[in-house]
Amino acid sequence: MVNSDNTYTVYDKTVKGLLDEASAVLDGNPRLQLASYAVGPKPIPGDGEPVPGSVLHVAFSHSGATLGLIVGELLAKEIHSGIPHPMLATFRANRFG
């Protein structure tokens, strides 16, 4: 929460709730411990408009269970190297013109 003096308040119950929810979806439900956190203003471009492009990577698939692993691996290599992977070339969103 942003206070009137532009400082921030983080409620303990909010942090606990986030840790509990994250724990609930992990295998074995491990008890997560907070190491640290930081708060600050939400980053918004100067003109207030969104900035999609090469800094944004998304993947949509109707068959995520069968393609998810290979697509994830290829995108990870692409993101890491900055070089578009040729196996993904014909599947790019720009094919829709």
Please state the rounded mean pLDDT for residues 4-9. Answer: 91
Is residue 1 predicted with pLDDT exceeding 90? no
What is the percent of the chain where pLDDT is above 70?
85
**What is the distance of C-alpha 67 from the center of its chain?**
19
pLDDT of res. 52? 55
In whole angstroms, what is the distance from residue 85 CA to residue 2 CA?
43
Is residue 63 predicted with pLDDT exceeding 70? no
Residue type, 51: V
Tell me which residue of 79, 97, 75, 69 sits closest to 87, measured CA to CA.
Answer: 75
Segments making up each domain of the chain, as ranges: 1-42, 46-97
C-beta separation of 3 from 9 below 8 A: yes
Is residue 38 predicted with pLDDT exceeding 60? yes
pLDDT of res. 23? 92
Please state the rounded mean pLDDT for residues 7-20. Answer: 92
